[in-house]
Amino acid sequence: MPFKKGDFLIIEYVAKVKETGEAFDTTLENIAKKERIYKEGEIYEPKLVVIGEGWVLKALDDSLPSLQLNKPKTIEIPPDKAFGPRDPEKLKMVPLRRLRDKGITPQLGMRIEYEKKSATVRTVGAGRVQLDFNPPLAGKTLVYEVTARKKLRTNKEKMYALIHRRILLADITGFGLDIEKTEVRIQVPEEAFYLEGLQLAKRGVVTDIQRFFPKITKIEFVETFKSPKATDTIKETTKKKRTKRAKKQRTK
């Protein structure tokens, strides 16, 4: 097997329901649009996984060591290893007016919140609605078309990938990274300073680095503020990079 537990892989995939052929998840923007599962604001790009860490469905995780670089593989996951069987006890009829009182106009297939639980609208009748509190993919056999695009080998590659995993909205090429024996210094680009949740993301980066690199005892984030003129130049450069990146993704 070319890969093993603990390996850092960059993968692409398309996930479908075997029974219907319907796609429900993918890392590819063009596929998401074609299958009508595209979500505005979602970032579609190859995904980092560390084998054995449970960052993907366990049955998929267990199959990753059998992949070969740039060779697509079909992985089929039965319901008992995916989201379990459908439980008829989780079907419930509720009055239509009760939903309307909450500002909900139910439609077939709609996902709603009811009594602090997620449910799918299965039927809408005269005055009553059937809600299904099973996970949407319960009872389904899942099929993943997975391709390992790259195995990360150096510590620098791995750390950059961990940073990007937590701070997706910032261009990773803008980050600086200095690694010494027991210390890491991360230069944060100005474009990332005001991202929502940045402090929480930095905490996640620290947790990840300390987990995979236990010899690192100090992690420092450096944020350098420049003059307004320099800031304008940075913003223009960042805008060009994002446009170039978006065009590259669309051509994949």
Query: Domain ends where: 101, 122, 152?
Result: 152
Amino acid at site 85: P
Q: Are residues 227 and 251 in the same domain?
A: yes
Q: Are residues 8 and 75 in the same domain?
A: yes
Split into its structural domains, the chain has a count of 3
> What pLDDT does 63 receive?
97
Q: Are residues 50 and 145 in the same domain?
A: yes
Query: What is the residue-level pLDDT of the chain in tens, covering all 252 positions?
Result: 589 999 999 999 999 999 999 999 999 999 999 999 999 989 999 999 999 999 999 999 999 999 999 999 999 999 999 999 999 999 999 999 999 999 999 999 999 999 999 999 999 998 999 999 999 999 999 999 999 999 999 999 999 999 999 999 999 999 999 999 999 999 999 999 999 999 999 999 999 999 999 999 999 999 998 777 655 665 566 666 566 665 555 555
CATH (domain of 232): 3.30.70.2210
Q: Are residues 28 and 44 in the same domain?
A: yes
In sequence order, the 6+-apart residues with CB closer than 8 A to the CB of 14 are: 23, 25, 26, 27, 28, 31, 144, 145
Which helix (H) or strand (E) segment is 58 a member of? helix 58-63
Q: Are residues 98 and 27 in the same domain?
A: no
Please list the residues that pair with 128 across neighbouring strands.
95
Q: Are residues 50 and 161 in the same domain?
A: no
Q: Are residues 43 and 145 in the same domain?
A: yes
**Residue 229: other Cβ atoms inside 10 A:** 8
Q: What domain range includes position 13?
A: 1-85+140-152
Q: Are residues 81 and 97 in the same domain?
A: no
Q: Are residues 27 and 95 in the same domain?
A: no
Q: Are residues 193 and 145 in the same domain?
A: no
Q: Are residues 8 and 60 in the same domain?
A: yes
Q: Are residues 107 and 41 in the same domain?
A: no
- Nearest alpha-carbon partner for 84 in 140, 162, 131: 140
CATH (domain of 18): 3.10.50.40
